[in-house]
Structure formats: structure tokens, C-alpha cells
Chain A
Amino acid sequence: MLMLASFLCGLVFGAGLLISQMVQPTKVLAFLDVFGAWDPSLAVVMIAALAVSVPGFMLAKGRSRPLLAAHGFWPTRDDIDRPLVAGSALFGIGWGLVGLCPGPAIESLATLSPDVFVFVLAMAGGMILHDVWQRARPAKSPDEALARRPG
């Protein structure tokens, strides 16, 4: 049941990216290019998503547990630390270079485009590189060691 629910959520998520055209890098770049022929569509996508997810998450938070799992996996941290800032900045540079972020990139594998396969492989490489680097680095404090959780 957990697998089926996840699968259906992936399908709906993919349909949303398709209908909103956020799978098209040109559409994403047209939003990011504020000094060019600006296309605000991505902002509408985010506002519409939040219009559903803000009340939806409030509802989910109010429940004692999810329907198909023993407990919810809510993120617990809310500090703004250096890795968050540096990581997000690097992510934005990569996103701005080609207009692909992880969701649309993985979904676009369905088109069998060699460009997309190369991008997704490089993305996986970047993730593995980060995890290897983190494991190789000694933890400075118990808090930090604790914060290094998988997933």
C-alpha cells in the first residue's frame, strides 16, 4: 500500500509538472530571465502549489500519524547554517545554467533524450560526491554528527 500510494503521488506530481510545462527548461529559464522576455508562469505554479499545500500540511500536522506509516518524517531543523546557504547558492547556479532541477530532470528521462541522461548522471554524481565528502570529513561536534542523517 505504501508503494502504491508513493507511485500514485509520483504520477500526480509528474502530471503537475507536465501540465504546468515546468518540464520545459526554456519555460523555467524564461521565468529566471527577469532582464529578458519575462514569463511569470513559474511564480503562478508556486503560488497555486502553496495554495493547496499550506492548508494541506496544516491538516497533516494536526493528525497523529500518516495513514500508511507508523509516524510522519517531518524535518526537524529550522536553523539557517552555512551548508544550507552555500548548497542552495550552488544549486541555483546549476539550475540557472540549464533550467533543469531534479523533478523535471528525472521525469524527462521518459523522453530518452541523451542530454537528459547525461544531466541526471552528473546530478547523481554530484550527490554522491557530496555524501562521500561528508563521510570523509570528521564531525566537529556531536550535534553535527547527529545532523548527518541519511535521506
Chain B
Amino acid sequence: MANFTPLSAAIGGALIGFSAVLLMLLTGRIAGISGIFGGLLNPDSRDRGWRIAFIAGLILAPLLAGWIGYGMPTPKLPPSWTVIIAAGLLVGFGSRMGDGCTSGHGICGIARLSGRSIAATVIFMLTAVATIAITRHVLGS
């Protein structure tokens, strides 16, 4: 547990929860990123404005942080395009099929005490843990 950062995790987590509550209190929308982003891709969608605005805020956050001296390091992804593309396809397809991701189910859904979201969160945590156990410890990449 050498890299455990409980304080920054708690502050950041509280902000994420606060954002989800604020979005519901003000706009009545669920802060599920796959739903917000997926709705933009749907040709039938008529409420694009708030989705674009939320995503713009999300992308602007690290740029603002950079201006005040807290630049965001470039995320480290696996060195294989195949793995990155496969993972992206799975995350996109799976979050759409399962009606949500870490934010929509994991934060908003559990906060509503939704059985559906609790089940989804347990399932994706388990398959994610199994995936890294296999890739790191069985295949040893």
C-alpha cells in the first residue's frame, strides 16, 4: 500500500459526489458520463446542449488546473494499439448495454440505493479485477 493517497482521494471523491448532487438539484440529470457522452452520439437525441456543456467543463478542468500550476501528467496506456482499441470498444459497448459506468452506476446509482446499479458495480469491479489478475499475474505482461 505504498502508493495509498487517502487524503487526496477523499477530497476528490467528495467533489465528484458534490458535482453529481449539484447536477441533479439544478438540471435533474444523472451525472453518468457514459450516458451523457452516449446521448451525444445518438442521432435521435434532442437534448445535446447540456451534454456538450458538461463535457466541455470536464475537459477544461485539467487545462485550468494547468494554468494555476497543477498540470495533468499524460496518462500511461498499454503500448499496444490493439489492446487500447479493444478496451475502448468494450468500455463503450459494455457501458451502453449495461446502461451506465463507474459514475452513473457506481456513484449516482448506488447513492439512490438502486439494486440495478449495485449489481452493475459489483459485476464490473469483479470482471475488471479478474482481467488485471489474468493479464498481470497469469500472462505476466
Query: Which residues from chain A sit less than 8 Å from chain B, CB to CB?
Result: 2-27, 29-30, 32-42, 44-54, 56-57, 59-61, 63, 65-69, 71-75, 77-80, 83-98, 100-111, 113, 115-116, 118-131, 150-151
CA of A36 to CA of B11, assembled, Å: 25
Q: Which residues of A contact B54 (CB under 8 A)?
A: 6-7, 9-10, 13
Question: If A96-B129, A101-B101 touch, does A9 touch B55 (CB 8 Å cutoff)?
Answer: no
Q: Which residues of A contact B8 (CB under 8 A)?
A: 19-21, 41
| Cβ–Cβ contact A100 & B103, under 8 A | no
CA of A89 to CA of B37, assembled, Å: 20
Query: Which residues from chain B sit less than 8 Å from chain A, CB to CB?
Result: 1-6, 8-31, 33-35, 37-39, 41-42, 44-45, 47, 49-51, 53-65, 70, 72-78, 81, 83-99, 101-103, 105-116, 119-121, 123-133, 135-137
CB distance from B78 to the nearest CB of A (A): 6
| Cβ–Cβ contact A4 & B105, under 8 A | no
Q: Which residues of B contact A107 (CB under 8 A)?
A: 58-59, 61-62
* CB < 8 Å neighbour of B77 from A34, A36, A100, A131: A100
The total of Cβ contacts below 8 Å across the A-B interface reads: 492
Question: If A20-B8, A69-B27 touch, does A75 touch B15 (CB 8 Å cutoff)?
Answer: no
Q: Which residues of B contact A59 (CB under 8 A)?
A: 21, 25
CA of A85 to CA of B49, assembled, Å: 31
| Cβ–Cβ contact B90 & A2, under 8 A | no
CA of A6 to CA of B54, assembled, Å: 5
| Cβ–Cβ contact B12 & A60, under 8 A | no
| Cβ–Cβ contact A125 & B5, under 8 A | no
